[in-house]
Structure 1
């Protein structure tokens, strides 16, 4: 039998209390503020007899409690206010305010603000000095003293007369106490044997950059020299280092382990080799008659055995021409020192301090033990690089012949639209324009080899040079081309910077470089030393529109014919109503800093250098 479940009983609960909240109820206790309660208690305590110690202690305790109550109440009030106004609300308000301000700005103003931010980041770079000088706060305020003085009749000229000479040769000189321009080598006090040698090479008068640059360098002043390609910059910075070395040798002949007096830095082996050969030629001309001592010059580049120059290292060393990587290697091995070196020149300086060599240059500067005279030379040096360089030099003189980055006016620029598949065939037609020698430039190493192979098959004597070639192959190509054994040189950008070839009448740019600076250097291989030349450039749909726009403005500036397909390209900045200023980083006239290909390439190189552990030392 199943037992039935017990019955549930209802539990009687006590009734809920009732509350009378009527204000007139006798049980109602109204809220009294803390301050009033404290006053009431103080009054009560006072009435009990405040004079007794016990009452006093009790009163103090009560005051402390009341004070804590007040602080807690204040904290509760603040917390309530904080909850009512969150951080998200504040952020939304700031964003709304900024959006309203941005809505009032034009596209041009927004672009200018973006450019200003990028420029500020570039301007924040450390000045060009050694780490030791930066760490110790060493700052030179006065230029080096030099023994050279211009002739009296030059010193007696007025500032207005000096300026008239500069205007005559289109020279812009900026700085404090600018040395006077001098119109012939004899008045510059250049030794007679060297003057005669220059005349034998048909160099009878200084070019504009030499006319102002050599007196500036002779005066011991730091200098930024800018002039178009083929204008004689090499003599302008080599002659001062030769004269300085002669002066030091005359005071006390150098012995083994001493020197050098000065160093010339170049970004490429080919440019360093060419500069070295020029220095050897000029120093040999000086010592030929026996009036002046023989100066020892060292070439310090990768790809060559330094043992071949042991005879130079075994004597006193006067001048070093080098690329950064190998120079650092030699200094670290203590093959020579910069203890008495007081002259530093950088050729193609904008490249030296802007594309991966900046840390190397600082490293090299750390080997100097004294103040040095610093000279920076280039054909393309944008204003922002000039500003950065000026911060690093001591009261520098800026010598500028024409706009930095402008094309050589002695070069006839012809731009032709050629389809990619038709380039090779049309190349043979272009080679018929002028007699050899001719240089063909391409940005792609494989394309360089393809062009050379095609020309060889067509019976054209051609050599090729690019960064992947061995040093022996590169030297053979340059030597055979310079000697006339080969009619055509096909080259990548490695041959575009500063290299001087005799009687080049025609340059063909097979593939237009992205950076307009590279184009200026490439067409500058012709039209040198006052001669004229032709530059033919192939463009097509593969050429970026921004590069074409840079090219269009460059042609317009040089007074060259602009083909219809370039005329049709519109500048987006003009559409936006912005001012058409040139890029301060690369000098290109067709774009701003925000879309500068040089800046993008610099950042890419820096990232690649970091990924490789920074081992990109420019050998």
Structure 2
């Protein structure tokens, strides 16, 4: 055996040739002594002594955990365990010390996070609040864009605004940017956008038809209001707009007249035939507001027809009205439609109306149109548009959350802002009185003596409306009532009688608080404080319109109102320079200590979600209420309140 191994090693076997020498290897016998094994290991170590192959000594799990614990203590300011890190700086057991890169590679996520937090500068309380609010808003904004389903699916994006052919007068176009800004500053107009058309201070410069100019003069409207000075030129030029202005500032004229111009232009180019239309569409949140807007547009179309222009047909598309009357107008071809979302969806899905040639869309009271409960309806309606459209959104209250979401439906929009979104009209004298629940009806009679009729009374629920209506009838007051449970004919008759002067008092819920125009109302009474500060702004905005002065009286019972709503009311009164009652001044107001926070957050006053000035978004009552409603209306897909419940 030894001879064969020796011959193989030297290559001197009987059949071995120098060119074909092969070394044979054999497994070592198990009875070889340990000295030969250790000699072979030391020899291999001696060969690779100077070679750095990245070898790292194995560290036991127990020891690694102890080392990580020691590092955590060091990061937190404590002392390390000396028994763990001792050992002549060799890892604690005499082994080679680990490099810094190796130590970081072996760190757990817990140690890495602690190291990062220790290195980061500590935030102040104000910075923490701002970061938390930004995180809340980011989560609220994570929604699909307000676009048609087909546009979302195909990734359709429009980059250029609509072209209408309208241009401002040459003198206005040549006006310097400095002069344009001086005009905006004079009327307290804030504008945001690219290539904003110049502001025009007269209706004649807006190139409106002579019959409309004459009609405006007969109504006493001789000069445009601040929102009309900037928003009407932008709308006439085809730009998408977000318009924010206080109640009674003339927003209806801003979006109705440009729609008339587009419809008139289409009719003069190529008259509409049977079944075509509409060219323009206005969507309102309530039937009363839609009826009022339709009446205004019909007045303008009548004036144009009398002046020799083509006939423009307008349809009112709301619930509570026989659909056959509306269908007859559609058969002739309709130029403009004023609608509420429910009935409009019904017409579109039944294919009684289409939006194939519609190129103008306006959302009146847009904050309600894209708020909770309307988002999917609006996206459904937008899905019936075939091509690009000019989109306008107007409201007196437009919180940042709604405005950011609405911008997803607009193309290169222009934001025209007259005053803070959600601010009250400065022409309204606001009086807030503390009244016990049992004394409200008696005190209501005293408040009716403050001004001459007509007077508007708002209540939060339908039961209170009926109670007030019955009480005032027994007292001999000529009063009518409006709320959601009454049929449409009764609601329209009540509002018509109140506007016409046949009735002295109108009692209503918030269905009559948004957008309705009651020119003669000098006094608005809030029988109770609404749950949202936005509703308060809309309610009192029914008076003090078109430059007139009005009075708003609000009954407050601190036991029935949330403190956040009362704080919002307190800050709103201060902003409008109104008298703040003592019981509101006595409230503990955390916002007074956070004045710097608003400036640090980008000049965002109060809550970015609802616009209230007395709280931040973390304490928003509207956000809490919507979360509760969503949890109530959440569908149970698995039965018995969830998956795995009792069947």
Q: Provide the TM-score with structure 2 as the length reference.
A: 0.80
**Which of 212-221 and 305-314 deviates more?**
305-314
SS at match of 2:597: coil
Determine which structure has greater relative contact order: mean sequence separation of CA pairs < 8 Å that are 6+ residues apart, divided by chain length: 1
Is 1:551 matched up with 2:591?
no
Once the two structures are TM-superposed, the CA of residue 599 in structure 1 deviates from its matched residue by 2.0
Q: Tell me if structure 1 keeps the 8 A contact 2:317–2:326.
A: no
Aligned-partner SS, 1:314: helix
Structure 1 position 459 matched with structure 2 position 483? no
Give the one of 180, 197, 222 matched to 1:204: 222
Correspondent of 2:493 among 476, 489, 497: 476
Gaps of 5+ in 2: 29-54, 73-107, 599-604, 638-647
Q: What's the counterpart of residue 51 of structure 2? A: none
Change over 3 Å in CA distance of 1:213–1:54 after alignment to 2? same
1:523 to 529, 540, 543: 540
- Residue 555 (structure 2) pairs with residue 538 (structure 1): yes
Equivalent residues in 2 for 1:445-456, closer than 5 Å: 445-456=462-473
Please tell me whether residue 253 in structure 1 is matched to residue 253 in structure 2: no
Query: Per-residue deviation at 1:604?
Result: 3.6
Corresponding residue number in structure 2 for 1:272: 290
Shift of 1:579: 2.0
Structure 1 residues not aligned, in runs of 5+: 1-42, 60-73, 614-619
Deviation at 1:385, TM superposition (A): 2.4
C-alpha change, 1:418 and 1:57, in structure 2 (3 Å) is: farther
How far the C-alpha of 1:458 sits from its partner, in A, is 1.1
Q: Work out the CA distance in 1 between the residues paired with 2:238 and 2:296.
A: 22
How far has the Cα of 1:46 moved from its partner?
9.2
Aligned to 1:124: 142
Deviation at 1:538, TM superposition (A): 0.8
**How far apart in 2 are the matches of 1:85 and 1:271?**
72
Greater shift, 535-544 or 565-574, is seen at 565-574
- Further displaced range: 140-149 or 162-171: 162-171
Counterpart contact for 1:407–1:524, Cα < 8 Å: yes
Query: CA contact under 8 A between 1:404 and 1:587: conserved in structure 2?
Result: yes
1:178 Cα offset (Å): 0.5
Q: Which residue of 2 aligns with 1:13?
A: none
- Give matches, 1:32-111, under 5 Å: 55=24, 80=61, 105-111=123-129
2:130 corresponds to 1:112: yes
Listed as ranges, the matches of 1:351-370 within 5 Å are 351-370=368-387
Q: 2:395 aligns with which of 355, 378, 382?
A: 378
Aligned-partner Cα distance in 1 for 2:463–2:581: 30
CA distance in 2, matches of 1:577, 1:406: 18
CA distance in 2, matches of 1:57, 1:180: 97
Structure 2 vs 1, CA of residues 232 and 612 (structure 1 numbering), >3 Å: closer, same or farther?
A: farther
- Farther-moved stretch of structure 1 (581-590 vs 50-59): 50-59
CA 1:135–1:442 in structure 2 vs 1: closer, same or farther (change >3 Å)?
Answer: same
- Judged with a 3 Å threshold, the aligned counterparts in structure 2 of structure 1 residues 99 and 147 are, in CA distance, closer, same or farther, namely closer
**Partner Cα distance (2:363, 2:431) in 1:** 32
Give the structure 1 partner of residue 584 of structure 2: 566
Q: Determine helix, strand or coil for the equivalent of 2:276.
A: coil
- Where 1:240 maps in the other structure, the secondary structure is helix
- Counterpart of 2:341 in structure 1 is 324
Per-residue deviation, 1:123: 2.3
Distance in 1 (alpha carbons) for counterparts of 2:277 and 2:535: 36
Post-superposition Cα deviations, 1:460-511, rounded to whole Å, max 9, x if no partner, equal 1211112222222222221221122221111111111001113000000111
CA distance in 2, matches of 1:530, 1:173: 23
Q: 1:592 aligns with which of 591, 596, 616?
A: 616
2:143 is aligned with 1:161: no
Q: Deviations over 1:381-435 (max 9, x none)?
A: 1233223323431111111111111100110101111111111110000000011
**Deviation by residue 1:83-109 (Cα, 9 ceiling, x = unmatched):** 958999968768988998999655444
State whether residues 356 and 602 of structure 1, in contact with CA within 8 Å, keep that contact through their aligned partners in structure 2: no
Q: Distance in 1 between matches of 2:437 and 2:7?
A: 104
Given the superposition, is the C-alpha separation of residues 180 and 103 from structure 1 closer, same or farther in structure 2, using an over 3 Å criterion?
closer
Alpha-carbon distance in structure 2 between the residues aligned to 1:494 and 1:588: 21
User: SS at 1:241's partner residue?
Assistant: helix
Distance 1:87 1:56, change over 3 A: same
Task: Report the Cα distance in structure 2 between the residues aligned to 1:44 and 1:260, rounded to whole angstroms.
Answer: 106
Change (3 A) 1:145 1:48: farther
Query: How many residues were matched structurally?
Result: 557
The 2-side partners of 1:101 and 1:444 are apart by 56
Structure 1 residue matching 2:477: 3-state secondary structure: coil
The answer to whether the aligner puts 1:181 opposite 2:199 as a matched pair is yes
Task: Tell me what 2:423 maps to.
Answer: 406
> Distance in 2 between the 1:392 and 1:101 partners?
43
The answer to whether the 8 A contact 1:356-1:605 is kept is no
Superposition deviation, residue 310 in structure 1: 3.1
- The counterpart of 2:457, out of the listed 405, 425, 440, is 440
SS in 2 for 1:253: coil
**Are the structure 2 counterparts of residues 169 and 94 from structure 1 closer, same or farther at C-alpha, using a change threshold of 3 Å?**
same
1:14-69 deviations in whole A, cap 9, x for unaligned? xxxxxxxxxxxxxxxxxxxxxxxxxxxxx99996989887945979xxxxxxxxxx
1:429 is the counterpart of 2:453: no
Aligned to 1:371, the other structure's residue is in SS state coil
User: 1:45, 1:171 → 2: CA distance?
Assistant: 106
Distance 1:103 1:366, change over 3 A: same
Measured in 2, the distance between the counterparts of 1:301 and 1:47 equals 106
The alpha carbon displacement at 1:80 in A equals: 4.4
Per the normalisation by structure 1, the TM-score is 0.84
Residues 448, 492 of structure 1: 8 Å contact kept? yes
**Superposition map of 1:166-315 within 5 A:** 166-289=184-307, 291-315=308-332
